[in-house]
Amino acid sequence: MTVNLYNTEGRQVEPFKPIKDGKVGLYCCGPTVYNYAHIGNLRAFMFEDILRRTLEYAGYKVKHIMNITDVGHLTDDGDDGEDKMIKAAREKGMSVWDIARFFTEAFIDDTKKLNILTPTMYSKATEHIEDMINMIRTLEEKGFTYVAGGNVYFDSSKFPEYGKMALLDKQDLQHGARVVVDINKRGPQDFVLWFTESKFENQAMTWESPWGVGYPGWHIECSAMSCKYLGPHFDIHCGGIDHIQVHHTNEIAQSEAANGEKWVNYWCHNEFLLMKTGKMSKSKGGFLTLQSLIEKGYDPLDYRYYLLGGHYRSQLVFTWESLESSTTARKNLVQKIGNMKKASQVVSLDKLGEQARIKLSDFNEHIAADLMTPRCLADLWGLLKDNSISDGEKLAVAFEMDRVLGLNMSSYIVEDDKFEISPEDQTLIDERAEAKKSKDFLRADEIRDIFSNKGYVLVDSPDGTFLKKK
């Protein structure tokens, strides 16, 4: 199976060809851990999970590295924001180290709940300071740096290909020039590799370096750690589209300047998940977390199913209504698979009939075409609804599809959990249905919370709403 991927460098879908036969080096920009990941961040990690699963499904052995940004890079790229880690530590009355540990664990917990595969390795920025210093030293030796105002800068004028992947042109550079605020920079695109002077006092995380006590710039972290674990030239680098213009552009400049060779072959970026009101922002707060969905009675896999329903390169506007329909669809899937599992034995893949094989090959074609997960979900339902295919074959093919979809289908069981609903509870259920009809979502949510507190989840289906024990 040839996997075709949209490569941001070149702006087209290309067949994936690995550097080493049968192997893939994959680097994904990980979370900043001064707050919970929001459901937009989780979209990025879900996309990377689908990519990794697809590559493994196609037979590759994937070495998947993800960094944890546990050193408090600034709100903006220059020395002009607030240190996010210090701000969080102050607000929560914890040390910066404890903040980082707490939110790293919370992040890993979220990814597990979403059935996102654990990377081959999480690499923490704070454990790789020496590697970053070594890379900055190399850049210095090769003449790509200058020191100004106590900080070490990357001199982008020394790297003629600067901005090539992001298609930055002269106009962008002019625009950058207008917003530049750091008077130490010689050029608007230059960026800090090592800070010894920050406008913030009491910098909590600092290390010795050849340039004085300080801390690394944000971009150097990904270059140093990816090169350490994947080598100076590797296959795929991922992240959200917000990283194209600055973070990934700077990563390319410093990595290729230090190593003297092409760094990454395929750049894959996911589009944003938006709220109706606009962007979600980790630093500004007021965002939705996976936990907030769980508290409303959703299973994390409902959110996974919801994300599969959109292509990773399309923007997705989150609404409760669309999450609700994904929840219903997934519930039907649980029911269907669970019932089949009760009554039928899974057929082995080499015994599949013609129709079942066609369904699987349609799915393979769609996932290999730049990860078209919405088509893949349609393929799954097409399979399940096809009367010419036996249940045993359906199970075999569905489980095979699930190696990529990650909906945990083999664990589905149909619960015989019918129980008596009290007249009071039934009145509340009816009231909620009315509230939803008249778009009084506040009251509908209140009623959902009442049941949640009693240990029940309300499940909406085409046959009405019913109660399920949590």
List residues near ligand AMP by CB under 6 A.
29, 31-32, 40-41, 43-44, 239-240, 242-243, 270, 272-273, 280, 282
Binding mask 21-40 for Zn ion (x = CB under 5 A): --------x-----------
Q: What is the radius of gyration, based on Cα positions, of the chain?
A: 25
Residue 8 interacts, among Zn ion, ligand AMP, none and using kind-specific CB cut-offs from 5 to 8 Å, with none
Please pick, from the candidates 37, 100, 222, 244, the single residue that binds Zn ion as defined by CB under 5 A. 222
Residue 40 interacts, among ligand AMP, Zn ion, none and using kind-specific CB cut-offs from 5 to 8 Å, with ligand AMP
Q: Which residue's structure tokens are 């010419």?
A: 388
Residue 222 interacts, among Zn ion, ligand AMP, none and using kind-specific CB cut-offs from 5 to 8 Å, with Zn ion
Q: Which is nearer to ligand AMP, 314 or 345 (CB)?
A: 314
State how far the alpha carbon of 26 is from the alpha carbons of 64, 70, 229, in Å.
5, 20, 10
- The answer to whether 262 and 46 are in contact (CB under 8 A) is no
* Shortest Cβ 247–Zn ion spacing (Å): 5
* Shortest Cβ 31–ligand AMP spacing (Å): 4
| Part in contact with Zn ion (CB under 5 A); list of ranges 76-84, 218-226, 335-343, 423-431 | 218-226
Residue 430, number of CB atoms within 10 A of its CB? 12
Identity at 420, one-letter amino acid code? E
Residue 304 interacts, among Zn ion, ligand AMP, none and using kind-specific CB cut-offs from 5 to 8 Å, with none
| Part in contact with Zn ion (CB under 5 A); list of ranges 31-39, 216-224, 335-343, 424-432 | 216-224
Q: Which is nearer to ligand AMP, 209 or 250 (CB)?
A: 250
* Shortest Cβ 85–ligand AMP spacing (Å): 12
Residue 18 interacts, among Zn ion, ligand AMP, none and using kind-specific CB cut-offs from 5 to 8 Å, with none
Per-residue burial over 152-162, b = 16 or more CB atoms within 10 Å of its CB, e = otherwise: bbbbbebbeeb
Q: What are phi and psi of 317, to 5 degrees?
A: -100, 115
State how far the alpha carbon of 320 is from the alpha carbons of 37, 217, 278, 313, 316, in Å.
19, 38, 15, 21, 13
Q: Which is nearer to ligand AMP, 353 or 374 (CB)?
A: 374
Report how far residue 428's alpha carbon sits from residue 444's, in angstroms, rounded to the nearest whole number: 9
Q: Which is nearer to ligand AMP, 282 or 375 (CB)?
A: 282
Residues contacting residue 427 through CB under 8 Å, at least 6 positions apart: none
Q: Which two tokens stand for residue 295?
A: 């508290």
Residue 216 interacts, among ligand AMP, Zn ion, none and using kind-specific CB cut-offs from 5 to 8 Å, with none
Q: Which is nearer to ligand AMP, 76 or 425 (CB)?
A: 76
Specify the DSSP element, H or E, that contains 430: helix 423-437
Size of the site for Zn ion (CB under 5 A): 2
- Write the DSSP string, 271-319: PPEEETTB---TTT-----HHHHHHTT--HHHHHHHHHTS-TTS-EEE-
Residues contacting residue 130 through CB under 8 Å, at least 6 positions apart: none
68 binding Zn ion? (CB under 5 A):
no
Residue 31 interacts, among Zn ion, ligand AMP, none and using kind-specific CB cut-offs from 5 to 8 Å, with ligand AMP
* Shortest Cβ 71–ligand AMP spacing (Å): 12
Residue 233 interacts, among ligand AMP, Zn ion, none and using kind-specific CB cut-offs from 5 to 8 Å, with none
Q: Which residues bind Zn ion (CB under 5 A)?
A: 29, 222
